[in-house]
Amino acid sequence: MAEHNDQGKFGEEQALKFIKKLNYAIIECNWQFKKFEIDIIAKDGEVLVVVEVKTRKSDAFGTPESFVTKQKQRQLIKAINHYVEQKNLLNEIRFDIISVLHDGKNIIIEHIPEAFYPIVK
């Protein structure tokens, strides 16, 4: 497996541990719709939470969360729309980002609830 894939998997494992401590119920991990993937789908109470995990070794080129582009946000929105239709859910939806910085020694995790909102056109 490529190093960046190992790094991403490590970050997702750390994010799962982190949100479990927040008492979120994990519903799905790495859920896919077409070419789109949602890292984690969880519930915080009755709110369905879409969690995008970004892992980097350094923030020299920007914080991990800064790599969640508008295009990535649109992809997450399309994917979760399909998910809620498929599962016939009526829950409120929230988009969070978990940023993981891991330089081999230290791990810094930042949780950004309500990181972005879907734009209605």
Check residue 15 and give left, alpha or beta (phi > 0: left; psi -120 to 50: alpha).
alpha
Residue 57: predicted pLDDT: 83
Domain coordinates in residue numbering, the chain:
3-116
- Write down the architecture of domain 3-116 according to CATH: 3-Layer(aba) Sandwich (3.40)
Spatial separation of the C-alpha atoms in residues 48 and 38, rounded to whole Å? 12
Residue 3: predicted pLDDT: 59
Listing DSSP states for 10-61 in one string gives HHHHHHHHHHHHTTPEEEEEEEEETTEEEEEEEEETTEEEEEEEEEES--TT
pLDDT in tens, 91-117: 999 999 999 998 888 999 999 999 998
Spatial separation of the C-alpha atoms in residues 96 and 115, rounded to whole Å? 5
Give the mean pLDDT of 59-75.
85
Residues in the chain: 121
pTM of the model: 0.90
Spatial separation of the C-alpha atoms in residues 81 and 36, rounded to whole Å? 12
Q: Is the dihedral of CA 15, 17, 23, 24 positive or negative?
A: positive
